[in-house]
């Protein structure tokens, strides 16, 4: 773009001579536009940060604020429920480990102790779970997630029953000194049901964690 314009009257061809124009920029003028651009972006980002961190609700009694508080409470309860079910799954794994140890060492007594410990842990976790389920069910923000949580509880209880039944069957078979193939035949159907229930429980936990 032109920055210097020279005008002259009564110009003739003889005036068509080469000439140079020298000029100096003010250093402050050179920095003016970049600084304006940087300042503009800085103010824009600051405005975005302030907007995101500002509570725009009129008061803490507004419906939007109360809904947000209730949803935060629901999420907190869901996290606690997930932690309890993860402990249940860990107890399931310990039961599985005790059966592997039984098949390796034949120590029936240790296997019974493991089952008794798991049963006590399941009962304790059920006590912790009960008030959380009551709070979740009473929340108006849990209408979408409650059916899945209810299904998860039912599947987990069924899984616990199947695990305990299979565990008792295996221990009883070892006490009767049945052959390994006979033991496998006795628990084949139970094993399939346990695997299917375990997959359903894990899928429900994953679904709940994504909400």
Per-residue pLDDT tens for 41-99? 999 999 999 888 876 655 566 677 777 888 889 899 999 999 999 999 999 999 989 98
**Owning domain of residue 108:** 63-209
- Note whether residue 42 is domain-resident: no
pTM, rounded to two decimals: 0.66
Residue 9 is given by DSSP the state S
Position 52 in a domain: no
| 14 found inside a domain | no
CATH of the domain at 112: 1.20.120
**Which two structure tokens, joined as six digits, stand for 162?**
């199947």
As for how many domains the chain has, the answer is 1
Give domain status of residue 140, yes or no.
yes
Would 46 be classed as within a structural domain? no
Nearest Cα to Cα of residue 135 among 188, 190, 77, 90: 77
Tens digit of pLDDT for each residue in 103-153? 888 888 888 899 999 999 999 999 999 999 999 888 888 888 899 999 999
Domain membership of residue 96 (yes or no) is yes
Helix (H), strand (E) at residue 114: helix 108-138
Residue 20 counted as domain residue: no
- 179-211 pLDDT per residue, tens: 767 777 778 888 889 899 999 999 999 988 887
State how far the alpha carbon of 1 is from the alpha carbons of 5, 18, 22, 32, in Å. Answer: 11, 21, 17, 18
**How many Cα atoms are found within 13 Å in the side-chain-facing hemisphere of 39?**
6
In a domain, 194, yes or no: yes
């Amino acid at each position: 773009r032109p920055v210097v314009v020279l005008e002259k009257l009564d110009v003739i061809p003889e005036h068509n001579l080469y000439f140079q124009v020298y000029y100096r920029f003010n250093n402050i003028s050179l920095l003016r536009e970049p600084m304006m651009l940087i300042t503009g972006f800085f103010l824009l980002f600051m405005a975005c940060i302030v907007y995101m961190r500002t509570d725009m609700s009129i008061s803490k009694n507004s419906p939007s604020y109360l809904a947000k508080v209730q949803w935060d409470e629901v999420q907190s309860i869901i996290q606690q429920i997930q932690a309890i079910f993860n402990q249940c799954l860990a107890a399931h794994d310990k039961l599985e480990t005790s059966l592997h140890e039984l098949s390796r060492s034949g120590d029936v007594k240790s296997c019974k102790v493991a089952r008794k410990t798991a049963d006590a842990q399941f009962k304790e976790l059920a006590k912790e779970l009960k008030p959380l389920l009551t709070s979740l069910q009473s929340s108006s923000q849990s209408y979408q997630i409650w059916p899945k949580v209810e299904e998860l509880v039912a599947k987990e209880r069924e899984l616990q029953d199947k695990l305990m039944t299979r565990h008792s069957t295996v221990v009883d078979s070892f006490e009767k000194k049945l052959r390994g193939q006979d033991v496998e035949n006795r628990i084949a159907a139970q094993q399939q049901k346990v695997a299917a229930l375990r997959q359903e429980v894990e899928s429900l936990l994953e679904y709940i964690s994504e909400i």
